[in-house]
Amino acid sequence: MIPRGTNPDPNPNSTLIDQNLDAIEDQLASIVLAQPNDIEDSSSEQEVFKDAPNGSLLDEENQQEIGGGEIVLCGGVRSSKWTNRRARAAAGMLVRGGAVEPPVRLRLRRPVEIEFVRLGGAILSMTCRILKAPWVPGKRHADEDDASVSWRKRKKHFFILSHSGKPIYSRYGDEHKLAGFSATLQAIISFVENGGDHVKLVRAGKHQVVFLVKGPIYLVCISCTEEPYESLRGQLELIYGQMILILTKSVNRCFEKNPKFDMTPLLGGTDVVFSSLIHSFSWNPATFLHAYTCLPLAYATRQAAGAILHDVADSGHLNLSRQFACQDIIPWHFCMLMSIILMIRIEMVLLKSNVLSEVQRSMLDGGMRVEDLSVDPSPRSGSSSPHLGQSRLATESLDRFQEAFVGIGGPAGLWHFIYRSIYLDQYASSEFSSPINSLQQQKRLYRAYQKLYASMHDKGNGPHKTQFRRDENYVLLCWVTQDFELYAAFDPLADKALAIKTCNRVCQWVKDVENEIFLLGASPFSW
Amino acid sequence: MSSRRRMLLKVVILGDSGYVNRKFSNQYKATIGADFLTKEVQFEDRLFTLQIWDTAGQERFQSLGVAFYRGADCCVLVYDVNVMKSFDNLNNWREEFLIQASPSDPENFPFVVLGNKIDIDGGNSRVVSEKKARAWCASKGNIPYFETSAKEGFNVDAAFQCIAKNALKNEPEEELYLPDTIDIGGGGRQQRSTGCEC
């Protein structure tokens, strides 16, 4: 609860926000103290993105109370942006100042940006936008078990158990408390296997239960996210891969020798790793594209970075990654590898060159933007393909403009694309354009791509060459050739012929800048 | 680690006597023919989670075969003190378990015997005496014996305590986990051209 009486001025029309930032910071302390858990897991399948409109400030229970997060106060002209702590403090004060009745409990789940438009000291309007929260890996809701209503409501569960039914890992809840549940899962698997069959998928209403048996290790996903079976099964494969990466295949021998073996202690402290991996299933297209991505870099910079990494590898510091290079690595293991490579703190080495600053710049700048795609219909006019970073200055000023008027994306209503090179096992994707700037929309788009990928690679009906799909959210276009796969999202009203033309231009663009967005020639595993 | 680690024990309940744990559980998995539940027990300074596979009296669960018994840490044999046949069958259940589970040291595998339903008819319908039951337990390597009434939950907790105690006694010395050795040399280097497809 926000303590009352700490705000000496109950009048929101006065200049309390404008003038006394220090006071706000003080207010903040009390708010933050009062709500130690106010920022919650932004990825948790259950509570996030449900119906939160773009720009909602508070979580659902408070949303109705303050009308979707937009608070209009009184006349004004100037605008300013605050983020996080300060914005939260300000919002708390405004609400408490009586602008909104009754005073609400301020609970923010994610960092927000609050924009004020002011005239002198008066506030014309205040708009709140949710920012991308820094996602924190780790175990969630460890106190729950299968009797908890909250546990049952979670959208996506992952379990690892042994062939004797002992729990090894659960995404949510306490493994030990879920021992009975784990036993039930084992019984289901064994029951079917005893009949000389294998259980792959059980559908129960909105839920899918996906099973994967890997020798003495059983993996189960229970999901109502409507992801395709193939995707969920692929995710279980990745989780298994992650586990083997930590413990090696020695686990099989261990269970052979002693089926009683309790593996949980061996994985102690690795919750962070598994939760990161599971998080990436929703946020990293690499997990369903079976390809990895490169940071866009100028060709020369990438060469320099490669040379440095080579030296490190030769000096033996990168042995870890080399270990895995000679294992049976397939491309999608790469996302696991990345975490290990990062652990070795390559940046320490890169720091000594100017490569790191280039890398950082690239991370800030981002990669391809659909807005930069040339509208010029004449193909092969090399200059029409903007190189990365080149047109940045020109678009910089436009950004402000677009933000203000809500951009429409690229030509022909192109909102986003992913280009996957089949030879390189790499993909490149555009930045999200403004029509899909909320996390909720981005996640939804990834899910749509994931579905598209599965349907294109469907063993029963596929593989397909092209697909054009229109629904109320997008036009999705997929084009698969021997060399590449292109996934593109357009405005739902986009014209089909124009969309196809635009896809051709995207492919041309990618080809023109391919040595900046892909790692060509050398495989990263050939160190 | 501040606290000693919790132990998870798989406990299989066998016998002709109906569910021992009905009292604690209302989610009976009819299709599979077994009742699964989790019970926490504290013994001395250790916390135990008992994963209880309760099948007593059900034929159906046998369809699970080996999978059902696999990796059990303890087997609880239950009979009905009012039914002689259920007592006579204890031996079969014990044998069945040892064959199916094939524990590494069958002689010393921890069993517990429960004489169940002692409360029925005020004990007037009882046909198996405590003495007789204890004699049988002694002959099988001193199996701990408890008289219980599942309906009242009488003595069931004592039996669980005993299971935890046994497990502590038989706790294997901290098992050494040896990961596979990974060959850092050759392999990767030869695969320069194809990279990760090795």
CATH number at residue B124: 3.40.50.300
Task: Please say whether the dihedral angle defined by the alpha carbons of residues A146, A151, A157 and A160, taken in this order, is positive or negative.
Answer: negative
Which positions 132-171 of B are in contact with A (Cβ < 8 Å)?
none
Least confident of A53-62, A337-346, A506-515, B93-102: A53-62
Q: What is the dihedral of CA A346, A351, A352, A357, to 10 degrees?
A: 130
The 3-state secondary structure of A280-349 reads HHHHCCHHHHCCEECCCCCHHHHHHHHHHHHHHHHCCCCHHHHHHHCCCCCHHHHHHHHHHHHHCCHHHH
The 3-state secondary structure of A387-432 reads CCCCCHHHHHHHHHHHHHHCCCCCHHHEEEEEEEECCCCEEEECCC
Same domain, A428 and A444: yes
- Alpha carbon of A260: minimum distance to chain B alpha carbons (Å): 4
- If you average pLDDT over residues B130-141, what whole number do you get? 94
CA-based diameter of chain A, in Å?
78
Same domain, A195 and A170: yes
A524 lies in some domain: no
Residues of chain A contacting residue B185, judged by C-beta atoms under 8 Å apart: 326
pLDDT at A22 over 90: no
Which positions 168-187 of B are in contact with A (Cβ < 8 Å)?
175, 177-180, 182-187
Helix (H, G, I), strand (E, B) or coil at A218: strand
A24 lies in some domain: yes
Q: Per DSSP, which regions of chain B are E strands?
A: 7-15, 35-43, 46-54, 74-80, 111-116, 145-147
A1 lies in some domain: no
Q: What percent of chain A has pLDDT over 70?
A: 55
* pLDDT score, position A134: 67
Full residue range of the structural domain in which residue B119 is found: 7-197
- Say whether residue B98 is in contact with chain A using an 8 A CB cutoff: no
Q: Which domain CATH number covers A511?
A: 3.30.450
Same domain, A256 and A167: yes
Q: Could you tell me which residues are beta bridge partners of residue A479? A: A466, A486
Same domain, A210 and A346: no
B14 lies in some domain: yes
Q: What is the dihedral of CA B119, B125, B127, B129, to 10 degrees?
A: 40
* pLDDT score, position A147: 85
B26 lies in some domain: yes
ipTM surpassing 0.95? no
pLDDT at A240 over 90: yes
Comparing A40 with A472, the larger pLDDT belongs to A472
Cβ count near A465 (within 10 Å): 10
Residue A17 identity: I
- Cβ distance A187 to B64 less than 8 Å, yes or no, reads yes
From A283, A309, A333, give the residue that closes a domain.
Answer: A283
Give the C-alpha separation, A472 to A468, whole Å: 14
Least confident of A91-105, A339-353, A403-417, B63-77: A91-105
Burial environment of residue B45 by CB neighbours within 10 A (0 to 12, 13 to 18, 19 or more): exposed
DSSP A102: S
Tens-digit pLDDT profile for residues A473-490 = 999 999 999 999 999 999
Give the C-alpha separation, A327 to A335, whole Å: 15
pLDDT at A107 over 80: no
Nearest residue of A to residue B188, measured between CA atoms: A326
Give the C-alpha separation, A43 to A136, whole Å: 9
Tens-digit pLDDT profile for residues B142-194 = 999 999 876 666 777 888 899 898 888 876 665 677 777 766 554 444 433 33
A498 lies in some domain: yes
* pLDDT score, position A489: 96
Residue A457 identity: H
Cβ count near A345 (within 10 Å): 11
- Alpha carbon of B68: minimum distance to chain A alpha carbons (Å): 7
- b/e sequence A14-41, b meaning 16+ C-beta within 10 Å: eebbbebeebbeebbebbeeebeebbbb
Q: What percent of chain A has pLDDT over 90?
A: 31
Q: How confident is the model at residue B60 (pLDDT cuts 50, 70, 90)?
A: low
A421 lies in some domain: yes
- Say whether residue B191 is in contact with chain A using an 8 A CB cutoff: yes
B131 lies in some domain: yes
DSSP run (H or E) holding A113: strand A112-119
Q: How confident is the model at residue A125 (pLDDT cuts 50, 70, 90)?
A: low
Give the C-alpha separation, B64 to B38, whole Å: 20
DSSP run (H or E) holding A128: strand A122-130
B2 lies in some domain: no
In order, the DSSP letters of A53-75 are -TT--S-HHHHTTTGGGEEE-S-
Full residue range of the structural domain in which residue A394 is found: 365-517
Comparing A218 with A101, the larger pLDDT belongs to A218
From A331, A359, A387, give the residue that closes a domain.
Answer: A359
Query: Are the C-beta atoms of residues B160 and B41 closer than 8 Å to each other?
Result: yes
Mean residue pLDDT of chain B comes to 77
* pLDDT score, position B18: 60
* pLDDT score, position A165: 94
pLDDT at A325 over 50: no
Nearest residue of B to residue A523, measured between CA atoms: B195
B1 lies in some domain: no
Mean residue pLDDT of chain A comes to 70
Q: Looking at the 3D structure of chain B, how many domains does it have?
A: 1
Same domain, A382 and A473: yes
pLDDT at A387 over 80: no
pLDDT at A521 over 50: yes
Give the C-alpha separation, A67 to A57, whole Å: 10
Same domain, A78 and A194: no
* pLDDT score, position A412: 86
Give the C-alpha separation, A219 to A215, whole Å: 10
- Alpha carbon of A195: minimum distance to chain B alpha carbons (Å): 8
* pLDDT score, position A476: 96
Which range of A103-117, A316-330, A357-371 scores highest in mean pLDDT? It is A357-371
Same domain, A347 and A317: yes
Q: Looking at the 3D structure of chain A, how many domains does it have?
A: 4
- If you average pLDDT over residues B78-91, what whole number do you get? 91
- Say whether residue B85 is in contact with chain A using an 8 A CB cutoff: no
- If you average pLDDT over residues A394-410, what whole number do you get? 48
Which range of A85-89, A157-161, B36-40 scores highest in mean pLDDT? It is A157-161
Residue carrying structure tokens 């409109």: A53
Which range of A64-68, A229-233, A314-318 scores highest in mean pLDDT? It is A229-233
Asked if omega into A102 is within 30° of 0 (cis), the reply is: yes
From A283, A302, A329, give the residue that closes a domain.
Answer: A283
**Nearest-CA neighbor of A384 among A515, A517, A518, A512?**
A512
Same domain, A307 and A436: no
- If you average pLDDT over residues A276-299, what whole number do you get? 86
Task: Give the pair of three-digit tokens for residue B116.
Answer: 């169940």
Give the C-alpha separation, A193 to B74, whole Å: 24
- Alpha carbon of B18: minimum distance to chain A alpha carbons (Å): 19
Same domain, A170 and A272: yes
Same domain, A264 and A316: no
Give the C-alpha separation, A328 to A326, whole Å: 7
- If you average pLDDT over residues B96-120, what whole number do you get? 88
A160 lies in some domain: yes
- CB-nearest to A176 from B8, B72, B73 is B8
Which range of A128-137, A199-208, A301-310, A408-417 scores highest in mean pLDDT? It is A199-208
- If you average pLDDT over residues A411-438, what whole number do you get? 89
Helix (H, G, I), strand (E, B) or coil at A209: strand
Residues of chain A contacting residue B104, judged by C-beta atoms under 8 Å apart: 258
**A439 Cβ contact list (under 8 Å, min separation 6):** A42, A48, A49, A130, A132
- Alpha carbon of A279: minimum distance to chain B alpha carbons (Å): 25
Residues of chain B contacting residue A162, judged by C-beta atoms under 8 Å apart: 71
pLDDT at A512 over 80: yes
Which range of A10-19, A412-421, B32-41 scores highest in mean pLDDT? It is A412-421
pLDDT at A360 over 90: no
Tens-digit pLDDT profile for residues A50-78 = 333 333 333 333 332 232 333 333 332 33
In order, the DSSP letters of A238-258 are HHHHHHHHHH-THHHHHHHH-
Task: Give the pair of three-digit tokens for residue A259.
Answer: 């089926």
- Cβ distance B196 to A184 less than 8 Å, yes or no, reads no
Same domain, A418 and A504: yes
Q: How confident is the model at residue A47 (pLDDT cuts 50, 70, 90)?
A: very low
Q: How far is CA A408 from CA A127, A206, A366, in A?
A: 21, 34, 19
- Cβ distance A326 to B187 less than 8 Å, yes or no, reads yes
A139 lies in some domain: no
Proportion of chain B in helix, strand, coil states, percent, rounded to 5: 35, 25, 40
Residue B172 identity: P
- CB-nearest to B178 from A250, A260, A262 is A250
* pLDDT score, position A396: 43
* pLDDT score, position A223: 96
- If you average pLDDT over residues A228-247, what whole number do you get? 93
Nearest residue of B to residue A194, measured between CA atoms: B64
β-pairing, A484-490 vs A156-162, is unpaired
Same domain, A111 and A236: no
Residues of chain A contacting residue B31, judged by C-beta atoms under 8 Å apart: 191
- Alpha carbon of A387: minimum distance to chain B alpha carbons (Å): 28
